Amino acid sequence: MDLNVKIREYRPKDLEQFLKLVMELEAELAEKFKDVKIKSGLDNYRNRYLMPENKYKTFVALVEGKVVGYLMGFPSLGAPEVDNMYDILPVSSNWTPPEFFLQITFVSKSFRNQGISKKLHREIIEYARKQGYKEVYACIAKWNIPEIKVIQSLKFKLKDLGYRYRLTLKF
């Protein structure tokens, strides 16, 4: 079955469908890590990540008008401790941080293995390239084999960080 998938930037009208995907992700994590208490991120998505005019850039995948996946990233200053401290990057109009960090990707279970994640990645990579970033990178837990395979298929270089990988695509 060949799906007609549309990739576009997140819009505020997507919020409720988007939050349902976050709940699906959290339920999957709770199932995978039964001994770990998963703290809901719904409020962070609603009140931080998806707020207009902040650093986060989010693309959604739609099938028949339904949001079935997303990919979120942001300009990175190269240090996770610093990146976590700001939501709006105060920079001059003639400066772009060199890196763009891919924070999270999720595709609803019934829509996996159909190329949606790869389409989301291609869209955000093209966005980062057009914005003038020098590289796009992600840090992915070693257990997340499907995501690692998608990103490697897009020519990202893998570096072993011990318990996770850093995958980098330089322009």
Q: What is the pLDDT of residues 76-135, one digit of tens each?
A: 987 777 788 778 766 667 777 889 999 999 999 999 999 999 999 999 999 999 999 999
Q: Answer positive or negative: Cα dihedral of 14, 20, 24, 30.
A: positive
The overall pTM is greater than 0.95: no
* Joined tokens for residue 154: 């897009």
Q: Which residues of 19-43 are buried (b: 16+ CB within 10 A; e: fewer)?
A: bebbeebeeeeeeeeeeeeeeebee
Q: 1 pLDDT exceeds 60?
A: no
Domains of the chain: 5-170 (3.40.630.30)
Mean pLDDT of the chain: 92
In this prediction, residues 137-142 reach a mean pLDDT of 95
| Count of CB atoms situated within 10 Å of the CB of 138 | 24
| Stretch (H or E) spanning 152 | helix 145-153
